[in-house]
Amino acid sequence: MVYVAIFLVKKNCHLCLKKEIIRHKLNCVLKPIRLKTGIRFLIILLLLTNSIIMRSLLRVAFFCVLTVLLSLESVVAQNSLIHIIPEPAVVKTTTGHFVLKPNVKIVNLSGNQEVQQSADLFVNQLSPSIGFSLKIVKSANRNEKSIYLALNKTFDQKLGTEGYALSVKQGEVSIRANKPAGIFYGLQSFLQLLPPDLSCITKVHAEQWPIPCVEIIDYPRFTYRGMMLDVSRHFFSKEFVKSYLDQMSHYKFNVFHWHLADNDGWRIE
């Protein structure tokens, strides 16, 4: 009975999430289509009408709709430089780039051990492809390009326990959060801002790596964000399971459902 109840709750959560994703995609697609359809309709009216006053009003409406369409497309083009999964709550792009070089330092302003572990993992994720390891320090000169990690002294209700604020400027990068979990997710988002070539595990030859300047505020919409791996019916190696967990955390899933047993099957050795 309990298993059935849990299954139904999970199924409802997945359906709600799927509906939200579909609704968001439809809105992104239909907004430009609606505007373009409106422009076509105004052009047809403009050609058919004989009234001078009506023609003048339609011209004004036409240019208003055209202005809105162009501004919308410019915003979409600007934000198209930012590719983060899942999509952050707030994204505001600015001009310029932060350039990642060997002299960039990661500054753990909080001194928190969990934040330190997240910074260590970030360096390990990045170093194979860039060919060097960023130094992690407790303080740095503000004139030096650095990545600052800080925990809020006052709890930010909007961010909650897993949210973060990521600011990328030409001179520095800062990630602040209420809890270490937010710092971890902020670093994973920062990784996604890097060029796609850096996702590989072999060195990519380049002297520097530009990252677009952006202001991001992000927090989860759903507390439970889980994935299941069925090893009872399907066999996977230890390395695959570890890689699966790494990918889950990178994309901010926080619950791992490991289906180990099914009737008489038990897959741990």
Same domain, 213 and 230: no
CA distances from 180 to 58, 126, 177, 265 (A): 56, 20, 7, 38
Whether residues 214 and 232 share a domain: the answer is: no
In a domain, 197, yes or no: yes
Cα dihedral sign, 185-190-193-194: negative
At 76, give phi and psi (nearest 5°): -65, -40
115 and 143 inside one domain? yes
160 and 107 together in one domain: yes
Per-residue pLDDT tens digits for 55-81? 565 566 656 655 655 554 444 444 456
- Residue where one domain finishes, among candidates 202, 218, 234: 218
* Domain-located, residue 112: yes
Residue 192 placed within a domain = yes
Asked whether residue 172 is assigned to any structural domain, the reply reads yes
Same domain, 105 and 211: yes
Neighbours of 134 (CB within 10 A): 20
Q: How many domains does the chain have?
A: 3
- pLDDT of the residue at 88: 94
Least reliable range by pLDDT among 49-58, 71-80, 154-163, 245-254: 71-80
Q: 84 in a domain, yes or no?
A: no
Is 108 within the bounds of a domain? yes
pLDDT of residue 133: 86
Overall average pLDDT of the 170-185 stretch: 95
The amino acid sitting at 241 is V
* pLDDT over 90 (residue 25): no
Q: Which of 2-16, 104-118, 251-265 has the lowest mean pLDDT?
A: 2-16
pLDDT over 60 at 204, yes or no: yes
Q: How far apart are CA 26 and CA 30, in angstroms?
A: 6
Task: With a cut of 90, say whether residue 175 has pLDDT above it.
Answer: yes
Domain end, chosen from 184, 199, 218, is at 218
Give 177-184's long-range contacts (Cβ < 8 A, gap of 24+). Answer: 177/151, 177/152, 178/151, 178/152, 179/151, 180/112, 180/114, 180/115, 180/118, 180/151, 183/110, 183/114, 183/115, 183/118, 183/149, 183/151, 184/118, 184/121, 184/249
Q: What integer pLDDT is reported at residue 7 of this predicted model?
A: 37
99 and 206 both lie in a single domain: yes
239: domain range?
Answer: 226-266
pLDDT at 202: 62
Q: Please, which pLDDT band fits residue 54 given cuts at 50, 70 and 90?
A: low
Same domain for 171 and 52?
Answer: no
Q: Is residue 85 part of a domain?
A: no
Same domain, 96 and 206: yes
Residue 219: C-alpha distances to residues 77, 128, 156, 183 (Å): 24, 29, 11, 12
Residues 244 and 127 reside in one and the same domain: no
10 and 118: one domain?
A: no
CA distances, 13 to each of 89, 154, 174, 223, 245 (Å):
19, 32, 33, 10, 21
Q: What is the pLDDT of residue 74?
A: 43
Q: Is the pLDDT of residue 6 over 90?
A: no
What is the pLDDT, as a whole number, of residue 3?
38
| pLDDT, the chain, mean | 77
Backbone φ and ψ for 239, nearest 5 degrees, come out as -65, -40
The pLDDT value given to residue 40? 61
- The CATH number for 180's domain is 3.30.379.10
Q: Would 159 be classed as within a structural domain?
A: yes
pLDDT of residue 80: 56
Last residue of a domain, one of 57, 79, 101: 79
Indicate if 148 and 67 belong to the same structural domain. Answer: no
189 and 128: one domain? yes
Q: Tens of pLDDT along 116-146?
A: 999 999 999 888 888 888 899 988 887 888 9
Question: Which stretch of 45-54, 167-176, 187-196, 227-236 has the lowest confidence by average pLDDT?
Answer: 45-54
